Amino acid sequence: MSERTIGGGVSRDRGALSDGKTAERSGSSGANAVKRKRNRNAPLYRWSFTIHKWAGLIAAVWLGVLGLTGFFMNNGEWRWLQQVTAPGWLASDHVAQNAARNVFRYLQIDPADASIRVAGGPRGLWRSADGGASWSPTRFEAAAHPQIFAIEADPARGWDRLWIGTDDGLFVTTDKGETARPAALSGESVTALAQGASPSEMLGVVDKSRVFRFDPDTPSKIQMLDLAPLPEEARPESVRLHRFIRSIHFGRGLFEPATSRLINELGGLAMFVLAVTGLLYWGFGKWWRMQAKAGARGMSPEAKRATTSWLYRIHGATIGLLCAPILLYLALTGIVIDHDTELGSLLRS
């Protein structure tokens, strides 16, 4: 009975071994089919891999810079981007020569005394009492340092009360620009100001879109004006290609502003992440091979495999695949914009 048991056991083992060989042959057949397919495509794969690797390595740093700066440009209203300065040695001669061009964007001259002037821009507000020969910064209450979008004299008091539109609301100065204090709309971007139809009315714009009205004597009582959108028959039937391409590239094109901006921001960050992960994927391999040749003990094989797999998945299967359409249209529109001198007249037509 024990022999039959043993025999039965052996018989079962042989059956399992036979099934294992069948599965092995089946798996081997499938692997060979995949291998034959890869061999047929090997030249194309090697060519694509080589081009991708060397193009990525050559352009990785520049692509990272493009992605990061593109993300910042998409958020150009951030105050620190407008007011923080970079060292001169980083800039080219062309940039250095034009560095001061955007310091003053708005200039007002006192009609009663041309020597008194007030000028402002993204980096702040300044006052001159000698016709522009020298300038001193306006002192804002609470040490504020806003971007300046508009400077307008009061409709009734003129230069005795100047109104200032900033990225932090509406400010007013009653000493011709020496000091300024907040008046209304704190936290809002007041992008335009104008005198109204009467001495008791001022008009302004928030975020280049919403119009408001206020009495200069009671500026805290802001009245927002609801303006109906243009009817369909009053809108243009087409958009110039020049404007369309720039709108797409800078995140104001295919969808609503918030959605287009988010897509472009993802594209800029994706370009930066692709450059970093691509460099790390290549660099870690080189570093580990150098360690092996030197006999140095580094990361465990498991940690190396996990790191390589993680970098590959982020670089190719996740960021590369999901953001490919965004990167494609950013690249193509960027090339067109970069050749505005050659293509501008055609695109505007």
Q: What is the pTM of this model?
A: 0.65
What pLDDT digit, counting tens, does each position of 225-260 carry?
988 777 888 888 888 888 888 888 888 877 887 888
- Specify the fold of 95-225: Methylamine Dehydrogenase; Chain H (2.130.10)
Residue 192 has phi, psi (to 5 degrees) of -160, 150
Give me the pLDDT at residue 33, please.
55
What pLDDT digit, counting tens, does each position of 29-76 carry?
545 554 555 566 677 778 887 888 888 888 888 888 888 888 888 887
Report in angstroms the alpha-carbon separations of 327 from 118, 317, 322.
Answer: 43, 15, 10
pLDDT tier at 163, thresholds 50, 70, 90? very high
**Average pLDDT value over all residues in the chain:** 83
CA distance 295 to 236: 71
As a whole number, mean pLDDT of residues 188-199 equals 94
Local structure of residue 228 (DSSP, 8 states): P
CA distance 146 to 186: 11
| Residues 137/124, Cβ–Cβ less than 8 Å | yes
CA distance 154 to 195: 7
7 against 121, higher pLDDT: 121
The residues, ordered by sequence, that sit 6+ positions from 26 with a Cβ below 8 Å of its Cβ are none
Residue closest to 169 by CA, chosen among 129, 140, 197, 198:
140
